[in-house]
Structure 1
Amino acid sequence: MTKLRSFDQDTVDLTAWRERGSEPGLVERILDTNPGLADLGPVLPLGTAIDVPEPQVQMPRSPVKLWD
């Protein structure tokens, strides 16, 4: 888990994008990991502690064979 502090005028989605780009579902996982974070409003107070969960591991897909 990565621990971050919010900058001035930060939002949860901006913090998620800054940390990992466009990882699907990251904002929702951050909100689940940090109870009460959504209650602070859309713009986080300066210095708010945010725990960012580890990336979800995706299993590699097996190649599709059109012919045997």
Structure 2
Amino acid sequence: MKTIRSRDGDTISNILLLGLGRNDDEAEEALFEQNPGLEQHGPVLPAGVVIFLPTMPEKAPETVVNIWD
């Protein structure tokens, strides 16, 4: 598990993208489970909030199907 500290103006979406390389519902749920009370800060975090990033498996790339294949 990785620990980070927020900078003024960070959002949960940015933290997930930068820290985990993904920003989906599964990652967001895992983040809030690891950090009870994080939601009290609202959508934009103040500076200095300690956040524990969950360990997440790599998300499999989505297969794109073209109608011509």
TM category (shorter chain) comes to: 0.7 to 0.9
Greater C-alpha radius of gyration: 1
Task: Please say if residues 13 and 23 of structure 2, whose CA atoms lie closer than 8 Å, have aligned partners that are also in contact.
Answer: no
Could you list the runs of 5+ residues in structure 1 that have no partner in the other structure? 59-68
Provide the aligned C-alpha RMSD in A: 1.8
Query: Any gaps of 5 or more consecutive residues in structure 2?
Result: 60-69
**What TM-score do the two structures reach when normalised by structure 2?**
0.72
Q: Which runs of 4+ in 1 moved over 6 A?
A: none
Identity %: 34
User: SS state of the match for residue 15, structure 1?
Assistant: helix
Q: Deviations over 1:11-64 (max 9, x none)?
A: 111101011222542111101110000111111110100001112378xxxxxx
What is the number of residues matched between the two proteins? 58
In structure 2, distance between residues paired with 1:57 and 1:43: 26
